[in-house]
């Protein structure tokens, strides 16, 4: 079932948790809501489920306007972060709960319920554990019971809140793969919340990047990775270098105009920030006039990658470069070596006027730190 979300608003006191969310989710899609904590992703998920009364906006499941429907009437399968299994019930009773609480005339008979629960147990690969209590299950098993319980009511849509958050790394990987195949098998429209970009990008058909109650970008893994539409997305998916620059008459002047780059399309005139990832910087020779020159202040080899910290001569800022496996025959970079680099890919975002006024003291890393700080809280 497809879902349409229009202008959804949510306040907690003075805190504006959702600032007018619009989103369309196709039937059968596997969608990730990605963002730091406090970005509103869980609130949005709960709003879709009907667990958060909205201050405004509309939620539609297919042709049904779900906005006025109660949680019970929405029929969503919701998997809670801590699973929320009923401790005093067996695995069987947990899964059967949604069927058992139906009004008498809609309730399937015992035989049907039995059959359905057993099918679900097989589906989540927990056959034989129906008599266990939640306390007797591992984290991964609890997760599967929670999923089976949500699927038992044949939900319109499956919603998962940080589905792998409480699991250790190994189980998490396995369960991720398994969830992906389960989704393929069952075809439920599925939305899950995560703060882990790797998880979102690996699992989802599309990723919704959220920040401070708004959607920053919606797209496939490739789209959000290759063309981040805002500085926040850039920053959240990696650790970009941020270089202050100016656009004058269509030319991008970097580093106090010592380097000039082509602007990609219609760039805004005036002060901008150039966002470029460490792996998008290329080492160039002396003949490249538009290169940034600097001195190596840090080298760090991790596996097949070499990370260099380069202090730019012009501004004194330190940027990070990531090079592939260094070829011992060509060159070994040492601390103190001079180096010339240029961005092979980058994006421009206009810089706030306030910072532009104080260009000399401008620290490009500040923005990055600021964002990261925010994403941690």
Partner 1 sequence: MPGLTPTLGFTLFYLGLIVLIPLAGVFFKASGLGFAGLWKVITSERVLAALSLSFGAAAIAAVLNAVFGTIVAWVFVRYEFPGKRLFDAFIDLPFALPTAVAGIALTALYSENGWIGSVLAHAGIKVAYTPLGIIVAMTFIGLPFVVRTVEPVLREVERDLEEAAATLGARRWQTVLRVIAPAVFPSLVTGFALSFARAVGEYGSVIFIAGNFPMVSEIAPLLIIIKLEEFDYKGATAVAATMLVLSFLLLLTINLLQAWVRRRV
Partner 2 sequence: MNHTVKDAAFLPFEPLKQTNSVINEPRLVRWLLIAAALGFLSLFLLLPLLSVFVEALRKGAGAYFAAFADPETLASIKLTFIAAAIAVPLNLVFGLSAAWAITKFEFRGKQLLITMIDLPFSVSPVVAGLIFVLIFGAQGWAQPWFGDHIGKVLFSTPGIVLATIFVTFPFIARELIPLMQEQGTEDEQAALSLGATGWQTFTRVTLPNIKWALLYGVLLCNARAMGEFGAVSVVSGHIRGLTNTMPLHIEILYNEYQFVSAFAVASLLALLAMVTLAVKSFLEWRYADQLAATRRH
If contact means CB under 5 to 8 A according to the sort of partner, which of partner 1, partner 2, none does residue 133 touch? partner 1
First to last CA, the chain: 34
Whether 209 and 232 have beta carbons less than 8 Å apart is answered as: yes
Residues 138-167 binding partner 1 (CB under 8 A) are 149-150, 152-153
77 forms part of the interface with partner 1 (CB under 8 A): yes
Counting every residue written for the chain, the total comes to: 377
Binding residue for partner 1, selected from 109, 128, 135, 169, defined by CB under 8 A: 135
Cβ atoms of 223 and 63 within 8 Å: the answer is: no
What's the DSSP call for residue 86? -
The residue from 64, 84, 123, 284 that contacts partner 1 (CB under 8 A) is 84
Chosen from partner 2, partner 1, none, partner binding at 153 (C-beta under 5 to 8 Å by type): partner 1
Is residue 43 a contact partner of residue 23, using CB atoms and an 8 Å limit? no
Token code pair at residue 195: 């703060």
Residue 180's binding partner out of partner 2, partner 1, none, with CB under 5 to 8 Å set by partner kind: none
For residues 43 to 62, the per-residue mask of contacts with partner 1, x marking binding by CB under 8 A and - elsewhere, is ------xxx-----------
Does residue 12 belong to the site contacting partner 1 (CB under 8 A)? no
Q: Mention every residue, 6+ apart, whose C-beta is less than 8 A from residue 149.
A: 85, 94, 95, 97, 98
Structure tokens at 22: 């619009």
* Angular region, 20: left φ>0, alpha ψ -120 to 50, beta rest: left
4 binds, among partner 1, partner 2, none (CB under 5 to 8 A by kind): partner 2
**Residues 85-124: x where in contact with partner 1 by CB under 8 A, - otherwise, as a string:** xxxx--------xx--xx----------------------
**Which does residue 150 touch among partner 1, partner 2, none (CB within 5 to 8 A, set by kind)?**
partner 1
Q: What is the dihedral of CA 83, 88, 91, 93, to 10 degrees?
A: -110
- Given partner 1, partner 2, none, residue 336, with its beta carbon under 5 to 8 Å by kind, binds none
| CB 52, min distance to partner 2, A | 8
3-state helix, strand, coil in the chain (%, to 5): 30, 30, 40
Report yes or no: 136 and 148 within 8 Å, Cβ to Cβ. no
Please tell me the count of residues contacting partner 1 according to CB under 8 A: 28
Query: Binding partner of residue 139 among partner 2, partner 1, none, CB under 5 to 8 Å per kind?
Result: none
Q: Quote the tokens at residue 262.
A: 């082509």
Q: Return the number of the residue (78 or 164) whose C-beta is nearest partner 1.
A: 78
Please give the structure tokens belonging to residue 308: 């260099």
Residues forming contacts to partner 2 in the complex (CB under 8 A) are 4, 6-7, 21-24, 50-58, 60, 65, 67-68, 70-71, 215, 217-219, 229
Closest approach, Cβ 86 to partner 2, in A, equals: 15
- Residue 94 makes CB contacts below 8 A (sequence gap 6+) with 85, 86, 134, 145, 149
* Cβ atoms of residues 144 and 155 within 8 Å: no
User: Which chain residues interact with partner 1 by CB under 8 A?
Assistant: 49-51, 70-72, 74-78, 80, 82, 84-88, 97-98, 101-102, 133, 135, 149-150, 152-153
């Amino acid at each position: 079932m497809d879902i349409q979300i229009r202008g959804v608003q949510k306040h907690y006191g003075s805190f504006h948790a959702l600032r007018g969310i619009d989103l369309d989710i196709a039937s059968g899609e596997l969608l990730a809501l990605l963002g730091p904590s406090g970005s509103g992703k869980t609130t949005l998920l709960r709003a879709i489920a009907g667990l958060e009364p909205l201050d405004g906006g509309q939620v539609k499941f297919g042709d049904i306007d779900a906005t006025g429907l109660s949680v019970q009437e929405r029929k969503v399968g919701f998997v809670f972060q801590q699973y929320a299994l009923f401790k005093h019930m067996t695995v069987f009773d947990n899964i059967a709960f949604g069927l058992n609480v139906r009004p008498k005339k809609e309730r399937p008979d015992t035989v049907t319920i039995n059959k359905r629960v057993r099918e679900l147990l097989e589906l989540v690969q927990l056959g034989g554990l129906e008599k266990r209590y939640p306390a007797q299950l591992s984290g991964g098993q609890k997760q599967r019971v929670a999923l089976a319980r949500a699927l038992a009511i044949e939900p319109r849509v499956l919603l998962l809140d940080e589905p792998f958050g409480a699991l250790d790394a190994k189980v998490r990987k396995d369960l991720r793969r398994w969830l992906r195949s389960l989704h393929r098998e069952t075809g439920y429209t599925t939305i899950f919340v995560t703060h882990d970009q790797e998880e979102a990008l690996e699992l989802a058909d599309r990723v919704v990047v959220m920040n401070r109650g708004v959607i920053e970008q919606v797209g496939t893994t490739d789209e959000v990775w290759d063309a981040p539409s805002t500085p926040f997305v850039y920053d959240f998916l990696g650790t970009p270098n941020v270089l202050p620059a100016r656009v004058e008459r269509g030319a991008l002047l970097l580093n106090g105009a010592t380097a000039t780059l082509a602007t990609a399309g219609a760039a805004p005139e005036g002060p901008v920030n150039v966002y470029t990832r460490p792996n998008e910087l290329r080492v160039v020779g002396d003949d490249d006039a538009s290169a940034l020159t600097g001195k190596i202040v840090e080298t760090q080899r991790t596996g097949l990658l070499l990370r260099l910290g380069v202090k730019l001569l012009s501004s004194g800022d330190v940027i990070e470069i990531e090079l592939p496996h260094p070829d011992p025959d060509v060159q070994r970079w040492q601390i103190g070596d001079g180096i010339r680099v240029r961005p092979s890919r980058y994006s421009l975002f206009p810089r706030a006027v306030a910072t532009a006024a104080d260009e000399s003291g401008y620290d490009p890393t500040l923005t990055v730190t600021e964002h990261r700080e925010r994403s941690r809280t």
